[in-house]
Structure 1
Amino acid sequence: MTVTPAQEQRTTTTKYAPASVEVDTSVRHRSVEVHQSVLLTSSYNTSLATSVLDHRHENGRRYHKFRDWSYLLPNDESEINRLGMVHELCLLLRHRKLDLAPIKNPQRVTDLATGTGIWAIDFADQHPDAEWAPALPNVKFLVDDIESEWAYESNLFDFVHARNLTVSIKDFPKLIKQCYRSIKPGGWVEFQDFDGYPHSEDGSIEGTAILRYYNEVYSIFEKAGYETRPGIKLEQWFKDAGFVNIHMENLSFRPASGQRINIWSAFFPVFSKEQPSIDHVAQKRIGARALAQAEEYAFERYALAPLTRYKQWTKEEVMDLARRELTAEGATFTWNSTCEYHRS
């Protein structure tokens, strides 16, 4: 069975006993093959095995059919490639760190919405003694809906990780409360996410193609109930769930002022006392990565299913909007990202 990015918000990566899972080197090539035996053995999850293999093909992209239309992003090879690029971009942003929480010797870990599993596999490499549920000897994948009630016992995990769940989750407060119930006393939960809308302090983004893109596309996600701006709300959600020792780190990035996005020059402030600033060479490298995944994949990825399914746009109209989004002449704007880690 193939676990693909279409289950990104539906797939959890959890550390369990490593006995029955064989090493799967194909993970390194962004294609994660997992035997059915790694699924939870309940009748509900056993029945998922065949449905997860079903796909919908439309407008040249592949989408999953598990709870059809519940996840509006593709899960094909192009999306797998994009997720690999995003993983590298996140590592560059965080100085090659997979996580920022001060965890020590974690024994049980879960990676929510694991996508291709690349974060989980890298984390397992760094923590070989921990028990996991993705495909190193200490890792396996579980396919389920993380917005449904969790079947896990309370106080199970030492560390819960989630990254980039924007437009994938409808009820973040419920999800975070489930994290709280599942984490051991003194354990850590880390969410890395962002405000989906670009921000312009001087208002110069008004009337640009890029703002039209986000207004058109994200309005559909919002009407469907998905959260488009979790980054600016995470702190309050975690407080409401009962977490203490809340640490929040913010960073902003933008294309060069008044330029096409395809000549990105990323700007990063010092976003915490612990993290050094990012030098000019690294900024250019990050900008190039951001451009590559955005220009080749991301704009179409977010827009195609929402606009064709809900507003009856043609594929050509969507592609035209995605291409226009690369231009924001005269505009100054940023995207804001937040990393929060919290102790139970």
Structure 2
Amino acid sequence: MEQKPMEENVQQDRRADSGISGVVPPQSRAENYLGTEEETFSVSSSILDYTYENGRRYHAFRQGAYYAPNDENQSNQLDIYHHIYLLLLGGDLYVAPIERPKRILDVGTGTGIWAMDMADKFPDAEVVIGTDLSPIQPEWVPPNVHFEIDDAESPWTYPENFFDFIHIRCLFGAILDWPALLKQCYKHLAPGGWIEVVELKLPYESDDGTLTKDTYLYKWCEYALESGEKSGRRFDVTDKVYGWLGSAGFTDLRERNLRVPVGPWPKDPKEKEVGKYNLLNLLEGMDGFTTALLTRFLDWKPIEVQAFYGNVRNEMTNQRIHSYFRQYYWAGQKPIPTV
């Protein structure tokens, strides 16, 4: 597909602390389709005025709202997880029964890799929008892709009943009010459109009892859960999403979960491959996944964090511990009104 350079654009934030200014004329299919009802603005220097903690770079817009860094190392982890998700679904990008969505929204797009893959899969889609707190998406993107720096929990400026498909993946620990977010998705989803939410379950599990509650790996998960409780942005959402979707008004709800091993211990070839990638990502990404949580909310010192990580990594690479987490997928449809 023909690609275009991405203008670092964001949708107008109507609150005074947005720090966004400067009109940019529409230059892509996506921008042209969105029209001029809402202005599009370039990323100001304040958005790029990143903060640094313990040697890692974090987002400036809505500073502190998200726990993970936005540097190159973390971007690599996000892209590896995208590959893991593709392996889990046999190359599919979603589980919802969509056919030819014209307007697609990826909430918390990260590096934008899912949005770009969707644009390639559906080249006739009018627009694929990816929103995130960080402008870390690539410069060259498909012509119907549009990235915006935005806070998903702020009021959306899109038209109501606009999108055919809304995708949310791995925002646990980042959202203050999940029911409100899902209600906002419902408001802006067209009748007959679908939403899909993808989140993993903590703590990790084992079927044979080799992952016990006194292991460092299990405690690592518990500390993440504790930090989420203290921050107000919970990590334990997998037992609630189905109900939240129903309360928001979605129907034809579907749920499935898949096992994601930590390491190549499974005998099944597919699970073994998934486990290898997952282990690699956890070993290299552990620092980014939880250091801010441990230091900000549990008052750990950086030296204590790194010593703890050493013990966690030792258990992750111990193939006698058959640990895994469950990746959950939910899909729901906005009903079509009856005449």
TM-score (normalised: structure 2): 0.80
Structure 1 unaligned runs (5+)? 1-20, 25-33, 256-262, 268-279
Match of 1:264 in 2: 264
Say if 2:93 and 2:118, in contact at 8 Å, map to a contact too: yes
User: What is the CA–CA distance in structure 1 between the aligned matches of 2:324 and 2:77, rounded to whole Å?
Assistant: 21
Q: Equivalent residue of 2:330, what SS?
A: strand
1:23 lines up with 2:23 in the alignment: no
Match of 2:33 in 1: none
Q: 1:77 to 1:189 in 2, by over 3 A?
A: same
Give the letter aligned to residue 43 of structure 2.
A
1:39 lines up with 2:17 in the alignment: no
Match of 1:282 in 2: 270
Q: Deviations 1:291-341 (Å, cap 9, x if unpaired)?
A: 1110111x2112211222334423222122122113176655441221111
Q: 1:312 to 1:234 in 2, by over 3 A?
A: closer
Q: 1:294 aligns with which of 282, 285, 299?
A: 282
Using the TM superposition, name which of 126-135 and 331-340 deviates more: 331-340
CA RMSD in angstroms comes to 2.2
Q: Equivalent residue of 1:231, what SS?
A: coil
Q: 1:331 to 1:284 in 2, by over 3 A?
A: closer
1:214 lines up with 2:214 in the alignment: no
Say if 1:218 and 1:228, in contact at 8 Å, map to a contact too: yes
Match of 1:342 in 2: 332
Match of 1:254 in 2: 261
Q: 1:306 aligns with which of 283, 293, 296?
A: 293
Paired-residue identity, % = 34
User: What is the CA–CA distance in structure 1 between the aligned matches of 2:165 and 2:158, rounded to whole Å?
Assistant: 14
Say if 2:256 and 2:328, in contact at 8 Å, map to a contact too: yes
Using the TM superposition, name which of 132-141 and 118-127 deviates more: 132-141
User: What is the CA–CA distance in structure 2 between the aligned matches of 1:310 and 1:102, rounded to whole Å?
Assistant: 40
Q: Deviations 1:13-65 (Å, cap 9, x if unpaired)?
A: xxxxxxxx9614xxxxxxxxx424x3225665634822221111121110112
Greater share of helix residues, 1 or 2? Answer: 1
Q: Deviations 1:210-268 (Å, cap 9, x if unpaired)?
A: 1221222331122110121222221111111111111111122334xxxxxxx43247x
1:171 lines up with 2:177 in the alignment: yes
| Structure 1 residues 173-192: aligned runs within 5 Å | 173-192=179-198
Structure 2 unaligned runs (5+)? 22-41, 131-140, 335-339
Q: Equivalent residue of 2:257, what SS?
A: strand
| Structure 1 residues 131-142: aligned runs within 5 Å | 131-132=126-127, 133=129, 135-142=141-148
How many aligned positions are there?
A: 294
Say if 2:105 and 2:165, in contact at 8 Å, map to a contact too: yes
TM-score (normalised: structure 1): 0.79
Give the letter aligned to residue 285 of structure 1.
E
Q: Deviations 1:113-146 (Å, cap 9, x if unpaired)?
A: 0000000001000101112235311111011110
Match of 2:234 in 1: 227
Structure 1 runs (4+) deviating above 3 angstroms are 41-48, 199-204, 328-334
Say if 1:303 and 1:318, in contact at 8 Å, map to a contact too: no
Match of 2:104 in 1: 109
